[in-house]
Homo-oligomer: A and B are copies of this chain.
Amino acid sequence: MSFTIMHSQGNARTGIIKTKHGNISTPCFVPVATQAAAKALTTAQLNEVGSQILMVNTYHTFLRPGMEVIKKFGGLHEFMGWNKPLMTDSGGFQIFSLGKQNAAKVQGNTITFKSPRDATLHEFTPSRSMQIQETLGADIIFALDECIDFHTPYEQVKESVKRTHDWAKECLVSHERNHQLLYGIVQGGKFQDLRTHSSEFIGALDFQGFGVGSLFGEPKEESKNVLKWAMSGLPREKPVHMLGIGQVDDIFDAVEQGADTFDCVLATRLARMGYVFSSECTKRSKWRYRITNAKFRLDRKPFDKNCACWACTNHSRAYLHHLFKADELLAYTLASYHNVAFFHTLLTQIRESIEQNTLAQLRKKWLR
């Protein structure tokens, strides 16, 4: 078994995912290293803030640097200089979300798309996605799925779910049984019967773990239900990853449903836009503030008074404000560093609260 549940409180649990490149204590936040690099952060800095595993995007690395380069290095770990666990997505999400740019078309089990950079034509199939991800060599990989907008109408979603299920079976067949953990992905839009069906169908297959996709949606109450349906058919003893989940309240909701890992670009993307996550902020401000606001010009306080990260220990809001105003590259590094540390700290608190059966209190404190 590559996943061990250590402690449960309701559906929430702490656990350990064992991989060739080390163990991951769950629930765990997974920073995104889109193009085989976390934006503005070195691997040393990611280690410092406590990153246990990174998510690399198959689509991006497939196009650049391309498979020849990755093969030369024997995989992403060596190429990136990161010797802890990695996960790669299937490539599907980017192909579909960048649909207009790359003219993606689906026919049977084949997605064709054009590289937005050089207009070269590419084909992804379930087995090709497996091959590529095996070459990338991440510790956790995902079955190819069709990603659809949360608000896609019923009939279209139904058809798409069928396709995702067919592809999941194909991925299982083509996957070489190596050290990589293959996760199947639950889809089904916002519809109870489709999500439940997808959860049961994917959950019954011989995957080592599961992902839940296409969860972006408003209102929040609706996506909370969707999450519940998506988890309903999954075997409890296997790990579950939430694709692209990263708001504080969404993380609490997902953890309470039994989710184990979460990747999200928000921590680093918002950092580059000047947003700083802080435990001093509330749900109303989405736990963040904009450091470029004039009121921080003379503010000697750390970014977040409750944060023990290196950036908060050594720098002030006024300094970060200055760096953004002065277009200094260091601004992106310091904000990204802290924001990633913020989410790791949050997840550490969540792990501790589950062990102490105080998750509800922690949630209340954060969601005040």
Contacts and interface: CB of A to CB of B under 8 A. Distances in A.
Interface of A: 35-44, 64-65, 68-69, 72-73, 79-81, 297-298, 300, 310, 314-316, 318-319, 322-323, 325-326, 328-330, 332-334, 337
Given A64-B322, A65-B318, A330 B41 contact: yes
A323 B72 CA distance: 17
Nearest to A72: B298
Contacts of A325: 64-65
Contact of A81 (B36, B42, B315): B315
Contacts of A318: 65, 69, 72-73, 79
23 contacts: A37-B328, A38-B330, A39-B328, A39-B330, A40-B329, A41-B330, A42-B330, A42-B333, A64-B322, A64-B325, A64-B326, A65-B318, A65-B325, A69-B297, A72-B298, A72-B300, A72-B318, A73-B300, A79-B316, A81-B315, A81-B319, A329-B329, A329-B333
A334 B329 CA distance: 12
A136 to B, nearest CB: 14
Contacts of A41: 330
A297 B297 CA distance: 43
A142 B330 CA distance: 26
Contacts of A322: 35-36, 64-65, 69, 79
Contact of A319 (B80, B314, B330): B80
A318 B81 CA distance: 12
Nearest to A310: B44
B333 A68 contact: no
A120 to B, nearest CB: 15
A72 B326 CA distance: 18
A330 B72 contact: no
A295 B27 CA distance: 43
Contacts of A81: 314-316, 319
A42 B311 CA distance: 9
A37 B323 contact: yes
Closest 4 interchain pairs by CB? A40-B329, A81-B314, A65-B322, A35-B326
A330 B297 contact: no
